[in-house]
């Protein structure tokens, strides 16, 4: 049982979490920025105008990227299962 194996697993898990979260957050961030610029230019301060487009884009990004995200998670899980003999023995 080597410490490097556990460090590699944690590093890979944190990288995967960052990748999956950024896949849904970045489109929402871009739309929020565009809506904020629009609101600043037109002096419209409606709360639903900033919330609803971000919600729709986030749900759309999750719908589009869910297959890819599940493939990444399944690959990570398969990697973890393949490492069990190395960790135990």
- Of 23, 28, 12, 22, which Cα lies nearest the Cα of 77? 12
Per-residue pLDDT at 55: 93
Over residues 20-51, the pLDDT tens digits come to 999 999 999 999 999 999 988 998 888 788 88
With 0.75 as the threshold, say if the pTM is over it.
yes
Domain ranges (residues) in the chain: 45-89
Contact 57, 27 (CB under 8 A): yes
Say what the alpha-carbon torsion angle 62, 64, 66, 71 is, to the nearest 10 degrees.
-150
Residue 13 has pLDDT above 70, yes or no: yes
């Amino acid at each position: 049982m080597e410490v490097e194996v556990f460090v590699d697993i944690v590093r890979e898990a944190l990288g995967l979490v960052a990748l999956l979260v950024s896949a849904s957050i970045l489109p929402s961030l871009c739309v929020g920025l565009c809506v904020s610029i629009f609101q600043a230019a037109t002096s419209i301060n409606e709360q639903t105008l900033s919330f609803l487009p971000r919600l729709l884009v986030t749900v759309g990004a999750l719908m589009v990227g869910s297959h890819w995200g599940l493939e990444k998670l399944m690959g990570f899980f398969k990697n973890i299962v393949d490492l069990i003999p190395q960790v135990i023995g």
